[in-house]
């Protein structure tokens, strides 16, 4: 009797595991074509160029992306108008069918990182920044105003993690980030979710304004896998006066309590 119960228990467990597996897509051959265009014309007294570029990309062996980038550039003007639309289908589904997800944002230069992330450049004027998404689900993870940092937190096997730094613009919708002592928000994430956010603040509000200024300061970020190092320097013609902050990574999390920061700056755990 015990044997029969154990056998049924194993069968039920196995059926439960099978039920949790994602449904397999019935793959069918297909062919898709899209046209790219360029137009040069007069926009009032100025010359302008409109482009539409459409490319297809296969992510791993499971997903097909159609990336459409539309842009308008007025010759002689600073900046560019651009919109990126990314549609995704499971491999084997005809792109004429409804996509798994669609992303459409002001930006350009979409790229896939490690078959895990989709990164879109949002800096269309004078400030570079990027939006980061999970490529399989299309969910937004975070924005970063420094190039995306990627690293493994283990040496014996690859366990990838990502980091970004959001410097709140003047028009941020989060009122907490409008506080005069705020410098930036550091994000630590896997490809699936944001693991930790950390708020960087400065006791001196004038210094905080300088450190978060896009015109007056530049930022770099790097990681060894055991910590994240953030540096902020003043732009020319000022002296660099570089400040450096180090945030340890412990048990797959930011160990903000052991952060090393210059006097007057603080890093604390934060959540949106």
CB 137 within 8 A of CB 193: no
Query: Mean pLDDT, to the nearest integer, of 15-35?
Result: 59
Count the Cβ atoms, other than its own, within 10 Å of residue 45: 6
Question: Is there a domain that residue 43 lies in?
Answer: no
Locate 44 and state its tokens. 């009032």
Does the structure show a pLDDT above 90 at 163? yes
Question: Is there a domain that residue 242 lies in?
Answer: yes
**What pLDDT is stored for residue 166 in this prediction?**
97
Does residue 3 sit in helix, strand or coil? helix
Question: Is there a domain that residue 206 lies in?
Answer: yes
Confidence of residue 15 (pLDDT cuts 50, 70, 90): very low
Range of the domain at 205: 139-272
Question: Is there a domain that residue 181 lies in?
Answer: yes
Question: Is there a domain that residue 197 lies in?
Answer: yes
Question: Is there a domain that residue 82 lies in?
Answer: no
Overall number of domains in the chain: 1
Residue owning tokens 């044997």? 3
User: Phi and psi (nearest 5°) for 14?
Assistant: -65, -40
**What pLDDT is stored for residue 30 in this prediction?**
76
**What pLDDT is stored for residue 18 in this prediction?**
35
Question: Is there a domain that residue 111 lies in?
Answer: no
Helix, strand, coil share (%) of the chain residues, nearest 5: 10, 45, 40
Question: Is there a domain that residue 130 lies in?
Answer: no
Query: Mean pLDDT, to the nearest integer, of 57-67?
Result: 94
Rounded to two decimals, the pTM is 0.86
């Amino acid at each position: 009797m015990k044997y029969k119960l154990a056998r049924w228990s194993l069968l039920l467990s196995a059926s439960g595991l099978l039920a949790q597996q994602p449904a397999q897509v019935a793959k069918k051959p297909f062919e898709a074509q899209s046209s790219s265009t360029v137009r040069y014309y007069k926009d009032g007294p100025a010359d302008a160029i409109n482009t539409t570029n459409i490319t297809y990309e296969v992510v791993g062996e499971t997903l097909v992306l159609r990336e459409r980038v539309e842009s308008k550039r007025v010759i002689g003007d600073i900046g560019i108008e651009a919109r990126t639309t990314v549609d995704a289908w499971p491999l084997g589904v005809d792109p004429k069918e409804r996509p798994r997800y669609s992303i459409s944002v002001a930006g350009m230069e979409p790229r896939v990182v490690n078959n895990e992330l989709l990164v879109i450049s949002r800096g269309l004027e004078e400030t570079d920044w990027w939006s980061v998404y999970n490529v399989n689900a299309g969910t937004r993870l975070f924005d970063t105003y420094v190039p995306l940092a990627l690293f493994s937190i283990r040496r014996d096997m690859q366990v990838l993690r990502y980091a970004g730094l959001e410097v709140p613009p003047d028009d941020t919708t989060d009122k907490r980030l409008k506080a005069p002592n705020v410098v930036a928000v550091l994000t630590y994430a896997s490809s699936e979710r944001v693991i930790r956010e950390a708020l960087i603040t400065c006791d001196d509000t004038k210094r905080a304004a300088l450190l978060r200024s896009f015109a007056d300061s530049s930022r770099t970020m790097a990681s060894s896998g055991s910590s994240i190092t953030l540096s902020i320097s003043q732009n020319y013609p000022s002296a660099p006066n570089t400040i450096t902050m180090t945030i340890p990574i412990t048990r797959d999390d930011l160990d903000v309590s052991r952060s090393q920061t210059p006097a007057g700056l603080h890093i604390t755990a934060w959540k949106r």
